[in-house]
Chains A and B, each alone.
Chain A
Amino acid sequence: MSDLFPLCARGAETRRRGRVLVGPVDLTLEAGGVTVVIGPNGSGKTTLLRLLHGTARLSAGTLDWACDTEEARKHLGFVFQRPVMLRRSVVQNIAYPLRLRGVGRAKARGQAAEWAARVGLGQMLDRPATGLSGGEMQKLALARAFITAPRAVFLDEPTAALDGAATREIEALMQEAKEDGVRLILATHDMGQARRLADDVVFLHQGRVAETGPAEAFLAGPETAAAQAFLRGDIVE
């Protein structure tokens, strides 16, 4: 298998109706570890994740994976801030990516049931997914993203809707994935989570990468005024 990383963004931008939402972004994601994307509401975390993953069109600049982009995209997962539930049962939702890849019904269901158990949905396999609670939907989305054994997963505030216990479960899951060598790119609001999981940090401010670097150094003493204020818990525009 050829390497996916480093992923290089050069002058990458996402625009909507002429307005720049994010960028220009110059960023290199090296192989391995967890990159945490932080920044205030509306700073462009979601948009940056979509841009890097390729769900959002590149309006300007370049985005290069170490291998062919089409090839790279087959090995990516995405967990949305607002989980999208297919109008199917829990187990069918989780099995869906496997079914797309041509895995047989019974085998896909078996694997999906295992994953459901891992994220604590083992008791509700045949419930309609659209009837789950916000936290349960988020867990389902995680299982669905990880079931195909992706090599990199983009997670957009996966624990924002969860309580402490569920957050711990999900973080344990992410930790496990990291140890298995899955590259994680995680947007979060939760500074505690950033501290627990991050290897390096990307700090966004008003649609631009204001600061980036190894997590320890950044969290101990950020250089920009905006990041300092954000870490102090001040209100940052």
Chain B
Amino acid sequence: MTDLWAGLAQAFWLVVTLDPDLMEITLRSLRVTLTALVIASAIAFPLAALLAVKRFRARRFTIAVLNALMGLPPVVVGLIVYILLSRSGPFGVFGLLFTPSAMIIAQVIILVPLIASVAHQSLRDLWSEYHDLLISMNVTRWQKMQTLLWDARRALLTAALAGFGRGIGEVGAIMIVGGNIDHATRVLTTAIALETGRGDFALALGLGFVLIALALAVNLGTHWLGRTEREGRW
């Protein structure tokens, strides 16, 4: 117990003094996840809008695949990306394995199905509301998608926040493809795993605090978005 208390006190100290190691790792985590989030959103939002407005033959199949991919264990994603990026793999020539880029790629693969599924649900509901009006106005498919994406922006932000929460707390895939290399690919979650293994609870707990704070911020953001939505503010 004393270990734990000492660890907690030390962790607190690390956070308030903005310990350089802790800051470096936190910033890398944010950089990796935010980059992955932006890329994943850029893919997932238009995809979700297209699935909402266009009735094509592979639509149901695509939705089923997205839902299935959402349940894919991150470790397996890590494994697949590892194989693809390894020296002997098809993309080995780029030398991306054990770099932040590899971690971003893995996270994009994890986040796209999640964000697309969540976004698709709101866009589909909005489309059933707007369908008659937009059809009667003769709008192009691109205009339909634009209108839906813009008017559902709050729901999309919520979807992105869910993606951020998932990405920032993810450990399995980025551990495999990033390798948890100090000053290169070490991020919050992988560092916690390592420091805990080593018995350095202070750093592990300090990193944990940061992670919890980020998760809390995401939840508060989601809550706040939901409230402004209900109040019908713009």
| A interface with B by C-beta (< 8 Å) | 53, 55, 73-74, 76-78, 80, 84, 86-89, 97, 100, 128, 130-131
In the assembled complex, 12 residue pairs joining A and B whose CB atoms fall closer than 8 Å, in A order, are A53-B136, A55-B132, A55-B136, A74-B138, A76-B138, A77-B136, A78-B136, A87-B126, A87-B151, A97-B137, A128-B234, A131-B232
Given A80-B132, A130-B232: A86 in contact with B139 (beta carbons within 8 A): no
Q: Which residue of A lies closest to B154 (CB)?
A: A87
The range of chain B's interface size is 10 to 19
A contact residues around B62 at 8 Å (CB):
none
CA distance A86 to B129 in the complex (A): 9
Q: Which of A55, A78, A86 contacts B147 (CB 8 A)?
A: A86
A contact residues around B138 at 8 Å (CB):
73-74, 76
B130 at the A interface (CB under 8 A): yes
Check A100 against B139 for contact (C-beta < 8 Å): yes
Summarize B's interface: helix, strand, loop or mixed. helix
| B interface with A by C-beta (< 8 Å) | 126, 129-130, 132-133, 135-139, 143, 147, 151-152, 232-234
A contact residues around B133 at 8 Å (CB):
80, 84, 86
CA distance A130 to B126 in the complex (A): 13
Q: Which of A87, A100, A130, A131 contacts B137 (CB 8 A)?
A: A100
CA distance A89 to B150 in the complex (A): 13
Known: A76-B136, A86-B130, A128-B232. 13 other contacts (CB 8 A): A55-B135, A77-B136, A78-B136, A80-B132, A84-B132, A84-B133, A86-B133, A86-B147, A86-B151, A87-B151, A87-B152, A128-B233, A131-B232
CA distance A84 to B232 in the complex (A): 16
Q: Which residue of A lies closest to B151 (CB)?
A: A87
| A-B interface, 4 closest residue pairs, ranked by CB to CB distance from nearest | A84-B133, A78-B136, A128-B232, A87-B151
Check B143 against A100 for contact (C-beta < 8 Å): yes
Q: Which of A84, A97, A128, A131 contacts B129 (CB 8 A)?
A: A84
Q: Which of A77, A78, A131 has the most CB of B within 10 A?
A: A78
B contact residues around A73 at 8 Å (CB):
138
